Amino acid sequence: MKFSTELRDRIAIVTSHVEKLDALHAPELKGELLRIAKEGCNRIILDMTESRYCDSSGLSAVLIGNRLCRDTEGTFVLSGLQPSVEKLIQISQLDRVLTITPTSSEAYDYVVMEMTEGELGKDTDK
C-alpha cells in the first residue's frame, strides 16, 4: 500500500509510504484525497515522513488536498517534510500557502485546535 489513511476524531491522517512522490504515485494520492473529501471529511493531515523526493506532480496532489479542505472550510496540514521536499516547497513559495508542522502529532494538535476554535466561534455567534 502506497498511502494509508487512519480516521481519528473526524480527522483523516494520510501517510505516504512512497520514497518518491512523483508522476508515478501522485495520481493515487489525489484519488485518496478525493475519496476522503467525498466521504465528507475536510480535515486532512498528510504525513510525508517517508517521502524523500517530490516533483511537480506530487505538489499538485498536495495542492488538491489543500484546496478540497479550504473550499469546505476545513483544515489541511502537511507534516514530516524531509529536507529536499521542504526546500522544494520553499522554492515554489508554497510554504506561504500550506500549513506545515514538523510531526504528525503536532499536525493533529493543530487540527484539533482549529476545530475547537471553530466550535467556540459558532457558540459566540448565537
How would residue 123 be classed by pLDDT, with cut points 50, 70 and 90?
low
Residue 126 in this model has a pLDDT that exceeds 60: no
Q: What is the pLDDT of residue 124?
A: 63
Counting the structural domains of the chain, the total is 1
* pLDDT tens by residue, 83-100: 999 999 999 999 999 999
Pairing of strands 43-47, 3-8: unpaired
* pLDDT tens by residue, 16-70: 999 999 999 999 999 999 999 999 999 999 999 999 999 999 999 999 999 999 9
Expressed as residue numbers, the domain containing 23 is 3-125
Query: By three-state DSSP, how is residue 82 classified?
Result: coil
CATH number where 47 lies: 3.30.750.24
Which among 111, 62, 61, 102 is positioned nearest to 81, based on CA atoms? Answer: 102
pTM of the full structure: 0.94
